[in-house]
């Protein structure tokens, strides 16, 4: 309940009833009082024996007698200012919104649990890593970055992957992304980056899109963005599901063990369902068909008990190793290849409970990169350092009070007590006089409050070789930060041919939306430093002459390709967590449908029945209701499709654009199409040609829901 019932529970039903009486004209059924509305407004009244908490009250506990009509001077008269019930209701409604996040406004959250699967006390004293099987509750919020809170789920964008661990030594917030590097190196540039990607200042568009002048203008002038641009233009930026993307802490952090020894650490989340992405054309169509595609997918999976899970991995290395690399590990535009430092799995995150209330939890959750626990520490990454003060600030402006930590979703689940007091929206009621320290109130027998604890309290890691102290105060970047291209090239060259063509095509698409010719040219001149063939493909895709190569602040070095960076090279052959759309119509064979559905479910997938009409249809062997109507269930919403149709039904559907498009899109998005012979007429109409992924129903299990990338060059021209 959102309200507190402060009425004595002894209030008799008779009193309760009297309080609930309608006015004017107590005694008459309320709807009879609704003069002038033809009696059509109904009060949904509780029976007189209802418990006190069942009655509607205002925010101060006054029971409300009429929730339909405002108080007016006569039947057709003006509304009265004294109507405190109306005034409070509208007042509260008018203030329902809080400022949305300046970035990452659109997000979806869920509760879960983190469990340590491998103890690593030699690396960190963090309490959650001390014992295998140790666990703590978590809250996770996934997000897009550029769009507003009401924007769609599938734009080309980075995804936020923010995890709040409620540990027994306080909250640890790992506020990361689904891409392991970032656009910029120094917090100083963040407002510029965000301004450039958001809607353009004068015209207020485009929403949730990087394909416009100002973003690419900024990118073209800031070569440090190039590595992240490769990721953002790759399929990583159009994930199939929040459940099927990796997460990264991005910055290099510190692990500190009980002896005070420190190591560098990078955090990775690896989805148990494997990585999966959309095709760009599909992402665009999903935005129309289901703007909440990712939010719905996450919510439904958790509601169905298919709890999404990620393994937490760490890459741990020391300063000597870091010093030998051709890049600086304090530079957030660089990653540490897994082939050099393997990712060791130490825990598992499972999301097992949806939020009860979106606003109270997902909207009000406040992540702070400064929330760390003993055993974990920061490094001098200049981007991380900037974040450490930014987030506290932002929470105060969004949630309105320095007491935002008291909101249940933000409060730690371990005890917290200090001498901070008062402030707006204070909900705690501290007792006693001890609101300062030191104090000697204990000597007078009073509670003297909590005290600092040097042993178990957080103490900052001091052996900071990276700090290079003492030095002058400088506005400067470290030398290796100037290499902007080596890892951009590493990423590009680590992709499959198909993935490389997606990157080239995405850049062509975005630049084709850029009206400033000099910006297009400058981007391509930078790409020549990343990879000459990529620059050539992009120039050809835009029908531009290859511009002169941009000067590089530091010549790129060749790095060995890393298979771990490719989605396709790591694809899982599984139906688990995948959704298969099955099209049927009148006359279809019910047994064949039932068999297919149960085979899919047995493999861990889910089946969604689609038909031209959702009501019960007469089939061979019984009747069946569809889960969705064809027009509202386009094939872009599924990982693979199947159809069981009588030839007459298929023939009839050849005149239905939604049906033809269903197959055309599934084919165009390189999905498996399993079909019965009866479907052929519509496959022909949709231009579906036989290949490895177009198979008879009984071969579906062997092919599954993987994409058939070899088909793509036959369907669309890629750059
Ligand atoms: Fe954020 N970022 N950020 N960021 N960020 C916010 O905090 C900021 C950065 C990230 O689901 C804001 O509570 C600065 C990197 C995520 O609630 C804000 C800088 C990474 C989320 C903010 C960065 C992130 C945010 C907006 C440069 C990946 C969503 C509302 C110094 C490692 C968290 C809020 C959620 C949110 C500032 C850079 C990830 C404005 C100043 C790098 C996942 O405070």
DSSP string, 449-488: -----TTTS-------GGG--S--------GGGG--SHHH
Beta strands in 170-217 (DSSP E): 170-177
Residue 657 CA: distances (Å) to CA of 609, 612, 665, 671? 19, 12, 11, 19
How many C-beta atoms lie closer than 10 Å to residue 48's C-beta?
A: 11
How is residue 296 annotated by DSSP?
A: H
The span from the CA of 581 to the CA of 609, in Å, is 6
- Residues 6 or more apart whose CB falls under 8 angstroms from that of 467 comprise 380
Give the mutation target among 387, 393, 396, 397 for probing the ligand 1 site: most ligand atoms within 8 A of CB.
387
Longest alpha-carbon distance in the chain: 93
Residue nearest atom 9 of ligand 1, based on CA coordinates: 387
Could you give the CA distance from residue 148 to residue 209 in angstroms, rounded to a whole number?
11
140 lines ligand 1 (CB under 6 A): no
| Domains observed in the chain | 1-69 (no CATH), 99-406 (2.40.180.10), 481-568 (1.20.1370.20), 578-715 (3.40.50.880)
CB 330 within 8 A of CB 250: no
Ligand 1 centroid to Cα of residue 103, in Å, is 7
Cβ neighbours of 558 (radius 10 Å): 10
Distance (Å) from CA 541 to ligand 1 centroid: 34
Distance of CA 299 to the CA centre of its chain: 12
For 527-531, which contacts have Cβ atoms below 8 Å and span 24 or more sequence positions? Answer: 527/226, 529/223, 529/226, 529/484, 529/485, 529/488, 529/489, 529/556, 530/226, 530/230, 530/485, 530/488, 530/489, 530/492, 530/556, 531/488, 531/489, 531/492, 531/493
Report whether 227 contacts 333 (CB < 8 A): yes
Residue 40, pLDDT score = 61
Q: How far is the CA of 160 from the centre of ligand 1 (A)?
A: 8
Regarding the beta carbon of 659 and ligand 1, being less than 6 Å apart is answered no
- Which residues of the chain, if any, have pLDDT below 50? 1-39
Query: Taking the alpha carbons of 396, 402, 405, 408 in that order, is the dihedral positive or negative?
Result: negative
> Are 254 and 214 a contacting pair, CB within 8 Å?
no
Ligand 1 atom 29, closest CA: 104
Site to probe by mutation for ligand 1, drawn from 104, 162, 355 as the one with most ligand atoms within 8 Å of Cβ, is: 104
Residue 395 Cα: closest atom of ligand 1:
13
Contact 524, 538 (CB under 8 A): yes
In ligand 1, the atom with minimum distance to the C-alpha of 161 is: 43
The answer to whether the annotation marks 398 as part of a ligand binding site is yes
Entry pTM? 0.93
Distance CA 415, CA 376 (A): 20
375's tokens: 């055993």
Whether 468 is a known active-site residue: answer no
Best residue for ligand 1 mutational test, from 101, 247, 334 (most atoms within 8 Å of Cβ): 101
- Residue 394 main-chain phi, psi, to 5 deg: -65, -35
The per-residue DSSP string of 238-285 comes to SBS-GGG--EE--S-EEEE-TT--EEEEEEEEEETT---B--HHHHHH
Q: Does the annotation mark 104 as catalytic?
A: yes
Tokens of 428: 């705690």
Does a cis peptide bond (omega within 30 degrees of 0) precede residue 438?
A: yes
**Beta-carbon neighbour count of residue 354 at 10 Å?**
18
Q: Are 701 and 674 in contact (CB under 8 A)?
A: no
Question: Does 248 contact ligand 1 (Cβ within 6 A)?
Answer: no
Minimal-distance CA residue to ligand 1 atom 44: 391
Question: Kindly report the CA angle at 232 between 663 and 632, in degrees rounded to 5?
Answer: 30
The DSSP output letter for 442 is G
Å from CA of 214 to ligand 1 middle: 21
pLDDT score of 21: 37
391 known ligand binder: yes
Pocket test for ligand 1, best of 391, 395, 396 (most atoms within 8 A of CB): 391
Which atom of ligand 1 is nearest to 162's Cα? 43
In sequence order, the β-bridge partners of residue 116 are 347
Asked if residue 190 has its Cβ within 6 Å of ligand 1, the reply is: yes
Q: How far, in Å, is the centroid of ligand 1 from the Cα of 416? A: 25
Ligand 1 pocket residue status of 182, Cβ below 6 Å: yes
Catalytic residue among 34, 69, 177, 354: 177
Residue 390 CB–ligand 1 contact under 6 Å: yes
Strand partners, 271: 310
Among candidates 642, 623, 711, which has minimal Cα distance to 683? Answer: 642
With a 6 A CB cut-off, is 103 part of the ligand 1 pocket? yes
Q: Ligand 1 pocket, 98 CB below 6 A?
A: no
């Amino acid at each position: 309940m959102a309200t507190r019932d402060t009425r004595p529970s002894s209030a008799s039903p008779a009193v309760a009833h009297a309080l609930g009486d309608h006015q004017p004209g107590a005694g008459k059924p309320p709807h009879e009082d609704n003069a002038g509305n033809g009696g059509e407004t109904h009060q949904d009244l509780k029976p007189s024996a209802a418990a006190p908490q069942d009655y509607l009250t205002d925010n101060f506990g006054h029971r409300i007698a009429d929730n339909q009509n405002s108080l007016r001077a006569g039947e057709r008269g003006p509304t009265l200012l004294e109507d405190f019930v109306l005034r409070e209701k509208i007042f509260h409604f008018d203030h329902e919104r809080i400022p949305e996040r300046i970035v990452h406004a659109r997000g979806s959250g869920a509760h879960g649990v983190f469990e340590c699967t491998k103890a690593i006390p030699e690396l960190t004293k963090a309490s959650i890593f001390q014992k295998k099987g140790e666990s703590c509750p978590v809250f996770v919020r996934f997000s897009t970055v550029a769009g507003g809170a009401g924007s769609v789920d599938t734009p080309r964008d980075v995804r936020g992957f923010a995890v709040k661990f409620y540990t027994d030594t306080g909250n640890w917030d790992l506020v990361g992304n689904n891409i392991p590097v970032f656009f910029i190196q120094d917090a100083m540039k963040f407002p510029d980056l965000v301004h450039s990607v958001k809607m353009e200042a004068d015209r207020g568009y485009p929403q949730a899109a990087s394909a416009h002048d100002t973003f690419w203008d900024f990118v073209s002038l800031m070569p440090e963005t190039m590595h992240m641009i490769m990721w953002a233009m790759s399929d990583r930026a159009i994930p199939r599901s929040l459940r099927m993307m990796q997460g990264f802490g991005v910055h290099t952090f510190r692990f500190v063990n009980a002896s005070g020894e420190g190591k560098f650490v990078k955090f990775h989340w690896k989805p148990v369902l494997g990585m999966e992405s959309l095709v760009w054309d599909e992402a665009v169509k999903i935005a129309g068909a289901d703007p909440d595609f990712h939010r719905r997918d996450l919510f439904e999976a958790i509601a169905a008990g298919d709890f999404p899970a990620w393994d937490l991995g760490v890459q741990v290395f020391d300063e000597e190793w870091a010093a030998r690399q051709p890049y600086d590990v304090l530079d957030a535009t660089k990653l540490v290849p897994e082939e050099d430092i393997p990712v060791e799995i130490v825990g598992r995150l499972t999301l097992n409970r949806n939020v009860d209330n979106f606003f109270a939890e997902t909207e009000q959750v406040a992540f702070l990169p400064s929330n760390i626990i003993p055993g974990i520490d920061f490094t001098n990454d200049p981007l991380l350092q900037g974040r450490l003060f930014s987030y506290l600030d932002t929470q105060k402006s969004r949630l309105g009070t320095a007491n935002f930590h008291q909101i249940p979703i933000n409060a730690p689940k371990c005890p917290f007590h200090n001498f901070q007091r008062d402030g707006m929206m204070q909900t705690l009621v501290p007792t006693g006089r001890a609101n300062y320290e030191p104090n000697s109130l204990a000597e007078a027998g009073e509670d003297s409050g909590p005290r600092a604890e040097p042993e178990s309290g957080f103490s900052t890691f001091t052996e900071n070789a990276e700090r290079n102290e003492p030095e002058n105060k400088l506005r400067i970047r470290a030398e290796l930060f100037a290499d902007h291209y080596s890892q951009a090239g590493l990423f590009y060259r680590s992709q499959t041919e198909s993935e490389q063509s997606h990157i080239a095509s995405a850049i062509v698409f975005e630049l084709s939306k850029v009206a400033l010719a000099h910006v297009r040219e400058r981007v391509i001149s930078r790409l020549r430093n990343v990879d000459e063939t990529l620059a050539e493909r992009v120039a050809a895709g835009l029908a531009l002459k290859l511009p002169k190569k941009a000067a590089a602040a530091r010549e790129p070095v060749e790095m060995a390709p890393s298979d771990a960076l490719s989605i396709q090279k790591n694809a899982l052959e599984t139906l688990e967590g995948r959704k298969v759309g099955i099209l049927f119509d009148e006359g279809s064979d019910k047994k064949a449908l039932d068999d297919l559905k149960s085979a899919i479910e047995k493999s861990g997938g889910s089946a969604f029945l689609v038909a031209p009409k959702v009501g019960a249809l007469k089939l061979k062997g019984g009747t069946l209701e569809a889960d969705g109507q064809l027009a509202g269930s386009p094939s872009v919403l599924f990982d693979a499709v199947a159809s069981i149709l009588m030839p007459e039904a298929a023939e009839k559907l050849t005149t239905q654009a939604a049906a033809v498009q269903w197959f055309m899109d599934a084919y165009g998005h390189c999905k498996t199409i399993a079909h019965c012979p009866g479907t052929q007429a519509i496959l022909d109409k949709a231009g579906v040609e036989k290949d490895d992924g177009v198979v008879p129903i009984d071969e579906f299990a062997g092919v599954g829901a993987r994409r058939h990338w070899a088909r793509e060059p036959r369907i669309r021209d890629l750059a």
